[in-house]
Amino acid sequence: MDEEQFPLDSIIGDEGPGGLLMQRVWNDLPYGQVSSDGKRVFMITDLSEVEIAQFSPIMGIRGTRPADTRTNTLVALDLETEGKLQWRLGKGADQASMLSDAFFLGPPLPLDGRLYVMAEMAGDILLVCLDPRSGNELWRQQLVAVETGSVDFDAVRRIAGAAPTYHEGVLICPTGAGATVALDLADRMLRWGVTYPRRTDVNQVINRRNNVEPNQLMQRWHNGLAIAAGSVVLVTPIESERLFCFDLVSGLPKFSDKPREQMRYLAGVRDGKFILVGTRELRAYDSETGAQLWRTGDDLLASGQQIAGCGVFGGNDFFLPTTSNQLIQISLDDGKVVSRRTTRYPLGNLVAVGGEVISQAATRLSVAFGEATLEPLVNSILERNPEDYEALVRKAELMIQRDKRREALDLLNRAARIDPESDEVHMLSVSAMLGILRDDPSGEPELVEQLDLMIDQPDQRAEFLALLIRGAIDERRLDDAVGRLIDLSTLLTNQNLLDAAADEILNDISRHCSLDSWVAARMREVVDLSDQQQRQRIAAQVADHMAGLLQGSTGLLTRSSRHFAAVGGTAAIAELGRRFREEGELLKLERLALGSSNATAQDIAQLPMDAMRLLADALIEGQRGEDALQVVDALAEREADDLDELRKLASQGTQAIEWESPVELDWQSQQLRSRGIITLGQRLSRTSVSWGESFRGWRLVSEGANNIALRDSFGQIYGIPLDGLSPRDDGDKEAIINGGVMIVVRPGEIAAIDLFRVKSNEVSDSILWRRNFSGDGASIAKLRNEMNSFNAPVFWFPISSSTARTSAAEFRVGPVLGDRVIVLQGGDLLAIDLANSETLWRNSDAPQDGMIVAEGNQIAVVSPNEKTVKFFDKLDGRHLKSEPWDYGKIWHSAGKHVLCELPSDDGRSCVVTLLDPFSGEVLQELETSTASRSIVDGDRTYGQIVGSRYMVLLSSNGKLIVWDVQAGSVLSDLDTEPLEDLQRLHAMELGGQLILLPMNRPDQSKLPKDATLQTRQSSNHHTTDVVYAISLDSGSLRWELQFDDFPYGCTLDQPSSTPILLLTRAWSTYATNHARTVKLDVQAIDVRNGKVIHERLGQTVPSKSNEIQTRITVKPIQKRVIGQVSGEILTYRFGGSDDEDDPTPQTPADQIPND
C-alpha cells in the first residue's frame, strides 16, 4: 500500500529490541490479521503496546495510560486503486459515529455483502454488522459484559483479540472474554451461549516486579478463533488455555474440554478428526468423542527443531513448517511422516493458494511454486515448445527436487544456451552438481573442478568443501583433507554463514553442530588417522597457514586456532597468549591453554608443554600459586627446562600460614536488639571444584543483599551482582568451579563467572554470560534430593513434566571442560561455548537423564533408567556408540569415574562400584550393609560424599572406607572403634583432611532430668559423638576426638582454611516460674592435631536464643579466627596478644537482651 495514500503506524524500526516490535511479530493477533471481501481489505490500526494493569484491592483494575488506548481504528482500503482509503471507524474515523469509542477486536468477517466484526465498547463486547461500502453500522448485538477490566489493560484479551466464524447459518463468536456466543444469522437470534473460567495460571504471568513477561504471554493458544465443520464447533480460547468442542445446533459440549498442555494451535477438522499442533508434535482426536487417535512419533523433529508456524492441509496430508526450514508432510491417517523437504527460505505461517505456497515467517515472506501444480503445467508448455526457457528452468528445478540431477543438468544446459547470462540457471546448476557430489563425495575430478570454478555462494562453497573433506578422509587422502580444511576454515573466518549451511553439511536429523566445531572435529579425525610422518606434514601445513594469520584480529586467530587445535598451532596460541596477558585477560589465557581438554589435574599434566607454560603464567598472574605449582611439578615430571623462575613465582604466597601458640580468646556478647532468634543469614549451595586447588573450599552462598556470593576458604564473602534472583531461589542453586570459571546452575539457567576477577575484587565485571534454557526465564526443573542406601543425599534436577518429553527427564550441568560446558536437558545433550554461551553442538539422541562424564575426546552419558551408556564425540556431538549399563543407580561422579550402588533385593546390603565407563573397567568394588532401618541386629553403614570427590562409608562395626572417586583409588580402609548405635554420619573437608562426624542414637537415660540438650540446628549443624580426621595425603587416621559425657554439635560448612574447629551445644533449664535459662558450651579444636585449644562450658546466653550454629571468619594476616554463635563473638588470637587489651574473656552472663 502506498505510504502517501494512507497514514501508517509509527515506524518502530529504530527503537531497539522494544516490546512493540516483538509484540507485532508474535503477540498481537488483532494487528497481524487482515481480511478482504474481494473489493476491499480490512485491518486494525492504532494498536499500542500491551501493558498490564496495575491492580489495587480498593480500586480494582486501573491503569495510568491515556484513555485513548481504549479505542482503535478499523480501516477499509480499496484494492482496485491499490490501497486508497475507503473509510475508517473508531478512533481514527473522519466522522463521529456510534462506534467512535469502539476497540475493534479483530478484522471483520466478510459474508454475503456484509461485514461482521467484534468490538468492545463501554465494558461490553458487541457483534456489529457493517455495510462494507460505507462502514455504516447496520445492526449490533451485545454478546457479553466484561468483568475483568477493559481490553487495553487485559494483556491476555488484548493479544488474542476476537473474530467471528460462520458455519451453516450460525455465526459463532468466541469473545475472548471467557464466553462463546452463537447466533442464527438470518434470524439475528441468539442460539446458544457458554461461559468458561479464565486460565488459572494468569497470576504466573506476572513476574516479581508485577510486570507481564511478554515471553510468557507467548506460551498460549495461537489464536482463539472457532473452527467449525459439520455439526462440530471447536474453540481454543486464549484466555482459558483449554479446547472446547460444542455441538453447533445445541451448544452442548461434545466431550469434556481438554487442557492445552504443549499444544500451540488447532489446525482444523478433517474426516471426523481434529488436528492439534504443538511445539514438537501433532495429535489427532476424534471430533465426536474427543478420543486421541494418533500422535506423531518422537522422531518427527530433530534436535533443536521446532514447529515454526501454522501449517496447511493438502489432500490427505498436513504440511508442517519447522524452524530448520524443513517442511514435513504428515499423513492424516496415522500421523506418519510422508516426506520432508528442506527449503531455501524460512518457514512460518503458511498459506497455500493458486498452486503456490506462501510462507510468512518472523522476518521474511516467501512465495514458492507448488510441485504438484507446477509439473503438469511445465510438461504441457514443454510439449508445445521444447525450448521454452522458463519451462526448462522449472522442469530442471523439479528434477533437482527429485534427485534426478543429471537430467536437471541437461535441461539447464539447454536453458543456458537460450540465456547464457542467467543467474538462476547458474545457481541451479551448482545446486544439481553439489547434489551429485553429495551422493558420491569422492567425486569425479572434472565435476569437482567445474564446481570449484562455478560456486560463488559462500554456503554452497562451505558444503562443497565439506563434501570434499569427507571424501578425502574416507579415502585416507589426509593431506588433501587438511588442504580443504584450511580452505573451509578460511571461508568460515571470512564469511558469516547461516546455521542452515551447517545442517546441510551435517545432514543428521538428531544433531546440530556449528561449522567451527565440525572443522575442529574433522581435524581431530585426520590427526587420529595419521601416522607420525603424516602428522609432521600436517602440522607443517597448518603452521604455514596459521603463520599468515598472526597479524589478524584476536577473533580470527581464536577461531582459526580452535579449528586446528588437534595439531597444536603453537605460534597462534603463543600470539594469542601474548595478547591476553597484555590485556590482563587471565581467564581467556587460562582457557586458551586448556583448549578443549577435560580440565582436570590429570588432564592438565598431559597438555602440550607450551600450553602448560601459558597456563602457569595465567595462574601465577592470577595469584593461584597452588595451581601454578601443580603445573610446574607436572612440567618437571616431563623434564621441562628452565622451571626455577616459574617455580619461584608460583611459590609466592603459597606458604602455609603459621598458626602459633599460645591462643587467646576474647569473648564478647553482643546485645540482642530484638527478641527472638538472630539468624546467621548465610545460605550455602552445593559447590563442587573439578579443578583448582586455589578454590578448594570455596562455596556459593547467599547472604543478605547478595543473592549470589562466593565465600572463600577463609570465610570472606564476594558478592556477585547477578540480577533477577531472589532469596527464595537459594535452595535451587549449585555451582561448579573449574579453574578460573564457575558455572552457577539454577533450574533452567546457567551463568558463567570469571573467578580471576572475583579474586581480584572486580566482581561487577565477573559475570561472563547467562543462558536460559526455558526461553522466558521460568524454571524448567526443581532441585530434588533423595537418600540413597547409605542415607546420603543424591541431588538432581528433574524437568517439570509440562516441559519435559518424558517424566524421567533431567536437567544436568557439567562437566566443565577447557572451552565448553556440557548440559543435558531431557534427551538433548549440548556443548556450550564457555567464552560466549553459544551452542557448539546439540544432540537429541541422548538419554533423558543420567550422569555426564568426559575422557579424551568422548563424552559419556550414563543412564541407569535407560540402562545404557551413550558415548558422544566431544568436539562435534556425534553419537559414537552405546553400551549396556547394569551397575545400578548412580551415586556420584568425579573426573571420568562414576560411583554407583546396587542394593540387594531386601535392602540390607549393597554393592558399591567405582568404574570407568570409557574402558568399562571396575576400579573398586565392595559389598557392605546399608543404613536400612530394618536392620536391627546386624551392622549398619552410613555414607557421604565429601568435597565432591571422596566417598566415605562408616559401618557401625567401625569399618571406615574412603575412596577417591576422581582418582579411582582407595584412600582409606581403616578399623575404628565400633559405634553400635550409629545413626547418622556427616563429614566435611577441612585443612587437607576429612573430618567425619558420626552420631549415635541418643541415650536418653544418660541425659540430666532437669535440662534439655540441643546439639542440632537446621540442616547444617549436626550432632556428633566422636570426630575423626583422615589425612587426604595418606588416608591415615590423623586424630580422633571423643567427648566425655555428652555429644556436641558441629556446623558443617566451616571455612576450609580454619585452623580451629568449633563445636557447640546448648543446655536449657526451666525454673519453677517457667523462666528459661540457656547455657552454651563451646569447644575449639585444633584441626591439625585434634587437641582442645579451649573449652568453655555453661556460658549463659540470652534465653531467647536457640542459635548454636557457628560462623567462622579467618583473618590470616592478623592471625585471628573469629567465631560467631548467635550474639556471642569469639575472637581467637594466635601467637599471643598483639595489644594491651585485657585478654581475660568477658562474661556477659548477666546481660539481658534489650527488647
Partner 1 sequence: MCSGPAVAQVFGNMRTMVSGRFIEAPRFIEQELRDAEDAIEQKQYSDAVVRLGDLLQRERADAYDDDSLAGQDFFLLEESQKRIQHQSMSLLRRARDIIGGLPPAALETYELQYGPLARRSLDDAAASRDWNKLRDVRRKFFHTKAGYEASLILAQQELVSGHPLSASLLLDAVVETPQAIAHLGESLKSLHEAAMHLSGREPSERSAERYSVNQESAGGELKDYALFGATPSRNGASAGQMPLGNLRWDLPVTASPREAQVVEEKANELIVSGKLPPPSWMPIRVGDQLLMRTTDRLFGVDYRTGK
Cα(550)–Cα(559) distance, integer angstroms: 12
83, 609, 632, 650 from 637: Cα distances, Å: 81, 11, 9, 16
Residue number with CB closer to partner 1 (97 or 1031): 97
657, 665, 1120 from 662: Cα distances, Å: 15, 10, 12
Using an 8 Å Cβ cutoff, are 322 and 361 in contact? no
> CA angle at residue 136 from 132 to 142, to 5 degrees?
100
Cα(735)–Cα(692) distance, integer angstroms: 14
- Of 760, 762, 764, 720, give the one whose Cα is nearest residue 743: 720
Letters for 517-556 (x = contact with partner 1 by CB under 8 A, - = none) are ----------------------------------------
Instruction: Pick from 88, 191, 812, 820 the residue near partner 1 by CB under 8 A.
Output: 191
Residue 1155 CB coordination number (10 Å): 11
* Positions 419 through 438 that interact with partner 1 (CB under 8 A): 428, 431
Cα(13)–Cα(891) distance, integer angstroms: 53
* Positions 126 through 155 that interact with partner 1 (CB under 8 A): 136-148, 154
* Positions 296 through 355 that interact with partner 1 (CB under 8 A): 304, 306-315, 317-319, 323, 327, 329, 339, 341-345, 348-355
Residue number with CB closer to partner 1 (369 or 796): 369
* Positions 823 through 862 that interact with partner 1 (CB under 8 A): 839
Letters for 362-391 (x = contact with partner 1 by CB under 8 A, - = none) are xxxxxxxxxxxxx-----------------
Shortest Cβ distance from residue 297 to partner 1 (Å)?
18
Shortest Cβ distance from residue 334 to partner 1 (Å)?
18
Residue number with CB closer to partner 1 (782 or 889): 782
Residue number with CB closer to partner 1 (165 or 909): 165
Shortest Cβ distance from residue 138 to partner 1 (Å)?
8
Using an 8 Å Cβ cutoff, are 319 and 285 in contact? no
Say whether residue 195 binds partner 1 (CB under 8 A).
yes
Q: Containing H/E element for 88?
A: strand 84-90
Cβ neighbours of residue 610 closer than 8 Å, sequence gap 6 or more: 568, 570, 573, 574
* Positions 392 through 421 that interact with partner 1 (CB under 8 A): 397-398, 400-401
Say whether residue 1007 binds partner 1 (CB under 8 A).
no
Using an 8 Å Cβ cutoff, are 489 and 564 in contact? yes
Letters for 935-974 (x = contact with partner 1 by CB under 8 A, - = none) are ----------------------------------------
Radius of gyration of the chain (CA): 36
Give the relative orientation of helices 389-401 and 423-439 as an angle to the nearest 10 degrees.
20
- Of 922, 866, 867, give the one whose Cα is nearest residue 899: 922
Quote the cell numbers at residue 207.
513476574
Span of 224-232, 537-545, 595-603, 686-694 interacting with partner 1 by CB under 8 A: 224-232
Shortest Cβ distance from residue 201 to partner 1 (Å)?
9
Instruction: Pick from 776, 916, 981, 1040 the residue near partner 1 by CB under 8 A.
Output: 776
Shortest Cβ distance from residue 226 to partner 1 (Å)?
7
Residue number with CB closer to partner 1 (200 or 655): 200
Residue number with CB closer to partner 1 (170 or 663): 170
Span of 189-197, 487-495, 521-529, 1024-1032 interacting with partner 1 by CB under 8 A: 189-197
Shortest Cβ distance from residue 224 to partner 1 (Å)?
11
Span of 10-18, 603-611, 675-683, 699-707 interacting with partner 1 by CB under 8 A: 10-18
Span of 290-298, 361-369, 1032-1040, 1117-1125 interacting with partner 1 by CB under 8 A: 361-369
Shortest Cβ distance from residue 842 to partner 1 (Å)?
9
Give the β-pairing of 734-738 and 741-746: antiparallel
By CB under 8 A, how many residues form the interface with partner 1? Answer: 191
Cβ neighbours of residue 1077 closer than 8 Å, sequence gap 6 or more: 1068, 1069, 1070, 1071, 1100, 1103
Span of 110-118, 582-590, 723-731, 738-746 interacting with partner 1 by CB under 8 A: 110-118
Instruction: Pick from 561, 774, 941, 1024 the residue near partner 1 by CB under 8 A.
Output: 774
Cα(1142)–Cα(106) distance, integer angstroms: 83
* Positions 12 through 71 that interact with partner 1 (CB under 8 A): 12-14, 16-17, 21-22, 24-29, 31-38, 41, 43, 54-57, 60-61
Quote the cell numbers at residue 821.
560446558
Span of 166-174, 565-573, 678-686, 1031-1039 interacting with partner 1 by CB under 8 A: 166-174
Shortest Cβ distance from residue 16 to partner 1 (Å)?
7
Say whether residue 229 binds partner 1 (CB under 8 A).
yes
* Positions 1061 through 1080 that interact with partner 1 (CB under 8 A): none
Say whether residue 772 binds partner 1 (CB under 8 A).
yes
- Of 1151, 1013, 1153, 1009, give the one whose Cα is nearest residue 1080: 1013
Residue number with CB closer to partner 1 (186 or 453): 186
Cα(1113)–Cα(1060) distance, integer angstroms: 11
Shortest Cβ distance from residue 1129 to partner 1 (Å)?
36
Letters for 553-592 (x = contact with partner 1 by CB under 8 A, - = none) are ----------------------------------------
- Of 603, 635, 599, give the one whose Cα is nearest residue 617: 635
Shortest Cβ distance from residue 418 to partner 1 (Å)?
19
Give the relative orientation of helices 478-494 and 554-563 as an angle to the nearest 10 degrees.
150
Residue whose C-alpha cell reads 569427507 in the numeric block: 470
Say whether residue 1 binds partner 1 (CB under 8 A).
yes
Residue number with CB closer to partner 1 (500 or 794): 500
Backbone angles phi, psi at 513, to 5 degrees: -150, 140
Indicate the DSSP class of residue 715. Answer: S
Secondary structure (DSSP) of 548-565: TTTTS-HHHHHHHHHHTG
Cβ neighbours of residue 463 closer than 8 Å, sequence gap 6 or more: 434, 438, 501, 504, 505
Letters for 972-1001 (x = contact with partner 1 by CB under 8 A, - = none) are ------------------------------
Residue number with CB closer to partner 1 (52 or 1041): 52
Cβ neighbours of residue 780 closer than 8 Å, sequence gap 6 or more: 747, 748, 773, 774, 799, 800, 803, 811, 825
* Positions 796 through 825 that interact with partner 1 (CB under 8 A): 803
Instruction: Pick from 90, 251, 692, 850 the residue near partner 1 by CB under 8 A.
Output: 251
Instruction: Pick from 46, 49, 213, 239 the residue near partner 1 by CB under 8 A.
Output: 239
Residue number with CB closer to partner 1 (269 or 996): 269
Cα(139)–Cα(123) distance, integer angstroms: 19
Shortest Cβ distance from residue 195 to partner 1 (Å)?
5
Span of 172-180, 541-549, 555-563, 999-1007 interacting with partner 1 by CB under 8 A: 172-180
* Positions 203 through 222 that interact with partner 1 (CB under 8 A): 203, 206, 208, 210, 215, 218-220, 222
Cα(819)–Cα(562) distance, integer angstroms: 10
Residue number with CB closer to partner 1 (262 or 442): 262
Cα(777)–Cα(784) distance, integer angstroms: 20
- Of 283, 263, 167, give the one whose Cα is nearest residue 221: 263
